[in-house]
Chain A
Amino acid sequence: MSVAGDLGSLLLGDARADRVVPPTGFTATLTIFASGAMAFLAVFAMALSFATGRLAERWEGALAQSATIRLSAPEGEVERQIGAALRILEQTPGVASARVMTRDEQAELLAPWFGPDLPLDLLPVPRLIEITETAEGFDAEGLRFRLAGEAPGAVLDDHSRWRRPLVEAAGRLRTLGIVSLVLIGGAMAAMITLAAGAALSANAQIIGTLRLVGARDVFIARAFVRRFTLRAAAGAAAGTALAMAAIALLPPAGGEASFLTGLGFRGAEWAWPLVVPLAAASVAFWATRFAALSRLRTLT
């Protein structure tokens, strides 16, 4: 059975082949509803993938290529150890820049917890050195070793401790979204295969008659393949439109939006859901073709 012939028949249409098989209301409704529901879910899974992808990028971008040195030392030692730490940082490959945060900047950082009038001069608050890495990054273990020798009050925090699990979690969510898309496609294929099988069984007598007047399997299968592919595409188009509308109506995301309010598409990402009806049609085409060929081999 030629795939090209099937595709040609699908695109150009073959009304005569269509007419020989009577319309079957039950399987038609089932196919349209199933593909619509699956498309709706697929669009949400796609939105989830995009949202988690953006989240992972944001976390990674915001926290990567930056590190902090926290320096606690007796009063007379603080400035000397800051100087030593800055010298070490200047000599460390992979460090693009390093600067000591001012008292005002530190007060601003602590303001959410202690209020704006925190007397930092009277408290033993550690001094902070902000480090910006180059694209290649630096050797954190080597830097820690040198700091321990020349500025023993300095503690390097390269953010990896809490950055890694966040990025990993976002990455896994994205993977889950992609796996969901694959599962949705598989479930749709299974459902259409069953519906096509049911339609073929329901029309066994007609298929028998067609065979007796000289119909080849390719002719019989094409009538079913075209019908199910178009139904799946129509159902999926409706499901996709509904899902896109539902996503568009979600509350808008703020600057530091939580994960849920960030669910959706941005810019060119809105074009991706349009692939869903085409993918559904493709799944239906192959699933029906498989079902038809398998079933026609068993029907006499």
Chain B
Amino acid sequence: MIELRNVGMNYGGGTLLDGVSVALPQGSFHFLTGPSGAGKTTLLKLCYMELRPTSGAVEVFGEDAARLDRDGVAKARRRIGVVHQDCKFLDHLPISENIALPLVVGGRDPQAEAKNIAELLSWTGLTHRAGALPPELSGGERQRAALARAVIMSPEIVIADEPTGNVDWEMSQRLLSLLLELNKMGKSILVATHDLTLIRQAKTKTAARVLRIRDRRVEAAGAEL
């Protein structure tokens, strides 16, 4: 589904990632962990093609990302749901319209999918906040809304960057259960986090693999997690 082959990434003269190879097959659940600044977000950006690797190849849905034109990238991104660390909402639109944004840019009529949107709002517990603007939401509500937006197009893979970074324990449990639910629906999940408790809890409920970035490379984390 998404595969990084011997990928290297340089930033400002320094090497952030080197010789990274990762495969995210359909239905898999991966955690990506590592210290701050190790390159977790960079690796995620390589997966959804916000960045292009300095070396190596990124294959997305069987196609070399380097060969995709701008429209090709846009189409591929509609098959990837992303929960960004800062959520990336359009602050002038109410949260229900932000959630429906992928439908709008994909040329679908949100009114025709009002039921789907309502279900997502209910699933993420945001029905009562549908008309609120993003700055009016709490951190947890924003993360859940971002997750709802990420899955509205029924993507084949969901990528989340520190989804529990700004939320309390209860909310992180709720987000985890939502991600597990998506995985049970057959979607691949990749979550970048430094929250080891979250990883341990997930491993008790699903066969999640844990990848760790160390010394610019990605390795499978040991049984200590």
Q: Which residues of B contact A20 (CB under 8 A)?
A: 90, 93, 101, 104-105
CB-based contact B104/A214 at 8 Å: no
Which residue of chain A is the closest to B74 with respect to CB atoms? A216
The residue that B102 contacts in the complex, of A16, A208, A214, with Cβ under 8 A, is A214
CB-based contact B92/A219 at 8 Å: no
Q: How far is the CB of A227 from chain B (nearest CB, A)?
A: 14
Q: Which residues of A contact B102 (CB under 8 A)?
A: 213-214
CB-based contact B105/A215 at 8 Å: yes
CB-based contact A212/B48 at 8 Å: yes
Which residue of chain B is the closest to A210 with respect to CB atoms? B105
CB-based contact A212/B50 at 8 Å: yes
Q: Is B153 engaged at the interface, CB distance under 8 Å to the other chain?
A: yes
The A-B contact count (CB < 8 A) is: 54
CB-based contact B70/A17 at 8 Å: no
Q: Is A19 engaged at the interface, CB distance under 8 Å to the other chain?
A: yes
Q: Is A211 engaged at the interface, CB distance under 8 Å to the other chain?
A: yes
Q: Is B224 engaged at the interface, CB distance under 8 Å to the other chain?
A: no
Q: Which residues of A contact B105 (CB under 8 A)?
A: 20, 210, 213-216, 219
- The A-contacting residues of B in range 73-100, CB under 8 angstroms, are 74-75, 77-78, 82, 84, 88-90, 92-93, 97
Which residue of chain A is the closest to B149 with respect to CB atoms? A213
* Bound Cα distance from A139 to B77, whole angstroms: 80
Which residue of chain A is the closest to B106 with respect to CB atoms? A214
One digit per residue, 1 when the CB lies within 8 angstroms of any chain B CB and 0 when it does not, for chain A 201-221 equals: 000001011111111110100
Known: A214-B77, A219-B105. Contact between A209 and B92, CB under 8 A?
Answer: no
Smallest CB-CB A-B distances: 4 pairs: A215-B105, A214-B78, A22-B92, A214-B77
- Seen from chain B, the residues whose Cβ lies within 8 Å of a Cβ on chain A are 48, 50, 70-71, 74-75, 77-78, 82, 84, 88-90, 92-93, 97, 101-102, 104-107, 110, 149, 153
